[in-house]
Structures are given as structure tokens and as C-alpha cells.
Structure 1
Amino acid sequence: MNQPKRYLNIVSEMRDMIREQNIRPGDRIPSERELAEKLAVGRSTIREALRSLELLGLIETRRGEGTFLADPKKHRMVELLSTFILQDNKSQEDVRETMCIHETAAIQQICSSDAAKLPVWDSFLERLDAHDFKREDFVRELMVLSDNRLSLKIWFLLKQFSGNPYDGEVSPEEKNLLTNILQAIEERDAKTAIRDFKAWSSAFTKGENKEWQ
């Protein structure tokens, strides 16, 4: 089962389980281990699903207490997306294009704010030199640094249904282009940063990432 469909099944099965066990908003849901055993999937898969559901505000984790169900009305967003996404190839293309809209908007926001001058960009360049950079980490940090929590939540959810086109580590062939993107951001040159980002990300969002292998 591929990653998007596995994620959809987990969300659906968790919803059914919550209904069957009559778990109410504010009630504690089963632990990560219990969910993994009940749904017969790895704990890492459960952890990723829980993380995304928490970002969406569907569940909340209380340190030392466990994970609790939030307002069930918020589940409508997941249900709406799950009925639309992955129905056909065009739907998945739409998802990836929507991800790109949020990603380029994040770059635009960063370049027009004080975030462009943060020390984090030097850290990014150092990680690129050390060949210790995952593609997903790079894009997610852009989303976080744009300081738009709603956009981040939408992007994170879309990523789950997209097949995670940014899977894998940055290859040496990608280094120069990513370096140019980071330098353009530091210079607050949004036009150049967005142009180079689109050139880089199109290989993944269109499922053509073999050219970077």
C-alpha cells in the first residue's frame, strides 16, 4: 500500500474506532502502541498520522497524560480532503500544485520579513556542505519560517496525500540550486528565490525526481 492510501486508511480506521468506542471530545485516545497493534501497522506510521492530526487541531497531546480527542467538527476538513484527493491522477496533480502555491507564498513572506536575516540560513548552507539535508526538511523549514500557521497546517495535510514528493536526501547535483535559493532569500530577492525553487521542486511535484538520483 502506498503512503497516501495508507495514511487515508489510518485516518478512516481511527475515526471508526473513536466512534465504536464512543470516545468524546476531551477523552483520552489509545496510545501509539495500542493503535499500532489494533490497526496492524508500524508505530512510525501511527506517529506520523498522529502528528498530522495534531497539527490540524483534531487531537491534542498533554505532556505526561496522553493524547486526547479535540472538537469532532474539525474532522470535516480531513473527510472533505480524503473524498477528493487521490481519486485520480489529476486530483494528485492539483494537490501538488496547491502545495507549490503555499511554498512560494512562504518564500515571498520570508523575503519581505525579518526572517530573511535570521542565522538559520547560514545553518542551512552548512548542512548542504555536510551533505546532511533532507528535501522535506528544507521545504518544511521554509513553511515554518514564513510564520503562517494556517498555511503550514494545510501544507502538512496536503503532503500526507501527495505521496511526499520531497522524500529523500538532497543530492550533490541539487546543492548549487538550493544554495542559490538560500542566497536569494538572504538578499530578499523573492523573484529569483521563487524561480529557482520552482525549477528545483518541479522535478518532485511532477514525479520526475529520478533526474536528481
Structure 2
Amino acid sequence: MTQPKRYLNIVSEMRDMIREQNIRPGDRIPSERELAEKLAVGRSTIREALRSLELLGLIETRRGEGTFLTDPGKHRLVELLATFILQDTKTLEDIRETMCIHETAAIQAICSSEAWKLPVWESLRERLDGHEFIREDFVRELMVLSGNRLSLKIWFLLKQYGGNPYDGEASLEEKAILKNILLAIEQQDGPTAIREFKTWSSVLIKGENA
């Protein structure tokens, strides 16, 4: 198992390193060993961070060659379609509903697997007790830990091109709900975790429509 805080911060550190070294789409990124040495963390931590980035479609691994930064231009067709399709309110509602389907399925998958044992949950709870907590970090962690690569990619595109309901920082009221979700996940209580998640989602929607 990885150290909780390092696991949550490592992706951001890797992103900064890629920017500083001017690694461009299509370029090879440093190996696991090189990243572990540069960032002073264990290779298991690096491996989990790389897996998260690959699930998001930001990097790709080529057998026998290494790991490469992906070309964002591959998503231009989706952007073009989004310009014409994602215009009316009903479509936006359908997108939010579809996102929720994937999110609640991720929660159920986590509660039905060994993922609930990972140290990331305790780290998330510590961050919720802090001053700032970004909503999207919480949901993205759920999608990654569900282990469903296709579901994660669909969610990521819906969020990116259909409006991001998780933009911004969580309020005190939201943090209390998120802690309830974490507790239910740790107890493998999928129905309660999903019910609390939907409660949180409704809070966000009310805020948007206020």
C-alpha cells in the first residue's frame, strides 16, 4: 500500500515535472525508476499515479517502448460534436444523469471489492478537515478506484464537455456529506454511500439553479 498523502499529491508533482521538462504530447516520460528517484517516493506510489493518468487517457504505455504523453488533439472531434450537441437544457440534464449513473456504479464497485481498504480514504478524510477541498478530487478518486477504465473515460468526457458540476471548493455542509459517504464506503455500505452521494449532488444542482 502507498502512503496516503503521497498518493494524492504525486500526480500533481508529476504534472509539474512534465511542464518543467517541456515534455510534449508524443514524447516519452521518465520511467518508474526515474520518477521514483526524482520525486523521492516508492515505485508502488509511482505505479498507482501512472495508472490513474493512463485511465484518464493522459498517458499511454507501449509494450517494450515506455510510457508516452498522449496527444490532446485526439479529442478534437469530441469537442466539435459537443459544440453542436450540448446546447439545450434537456441535454445537460441527461449528461448529469448519465454522470450520476457512472458515479454511483463506481461507489457500488468499490464497496464490493477490496478498494475500500486502501489508505486513500483516510487521506481524503484528513483533507476534508482542512481549509480547502476541491469537489472534483473526491469524485475523480471514486472513478479511478472503481477500476473501470471505460466508465472513467466516459465520465471524464461528460464532465469536460457537458459542464463540470464539481467545479470549486466544497462548503462545510458538503464536507459533512462527503464524510458520511467515506464512512459508508469503509463499512461497505453501498446503498447508504450512494444515497449520501445523491444528496450531495442535489445540493450542487440547487446551488447552480439558485
TM-score by length of 2: 0.63
Q: Which residue of 1 aligns with 2:195?
A: 195
Q: Judge conservation of contact 2:107–2:146 (CA < 8 Å) in 1.
A: yes
Q: Which runs of 5+ in 2 are unaligned?
A: 1-23, 28-52
Q: Deviations over 1:62-95 (max 9, x none)?
A: 999876588x7x87666555542x2211001100
Q: Judge conservation of contact 1:60–1:69 (CA < 8 Å) in 2.
A: no
For 1:190 and 1:147, how far apart are their aligned partners in 2? 16
Cα shift at 1:203 = 2.5
Amino acid in the other structure paired with 1:129: D
Matches within 5 A, 1:1-213: 55=56, 68=71, 80-84=81-85, 86-204=86-204, 206=205, 208-209=207-208
Structure number with greater Rg is: 1
Cα shift at 1:60 = 6.1
User: How many residues align structurally?
Assistant: 158
Computed over aligned residues only, the root mean square deviation of the Cα atoms, in angstroms, reads: 3.5
Cα shift at 1:123 = 0.6
Amino acid in the other structure paired with 1:208: G
Q: Judge conservation of contact 1:180–1:196 (CA < 8 Å) in 2.
A: yes
For 1:128 and 1:112, how far apart are their aligned partners in 2? 24
TM-score by length of 1: 0.62
Identity among equivalent positions (%) equals 61
Greater displacement, 125-134 / 136-145: 125-134
For 2:144 and 2:69, how far apart are their aligned partners in 1? 25
For 1:103 and 1:209, how far apart are their aligned partners in 2? 19
Q: Which runs of 5+ in 1 are unaligned?
A: 1-27, 32-51
For 1:64 and 1:103, how far apart are their aligned partners in 2? 28
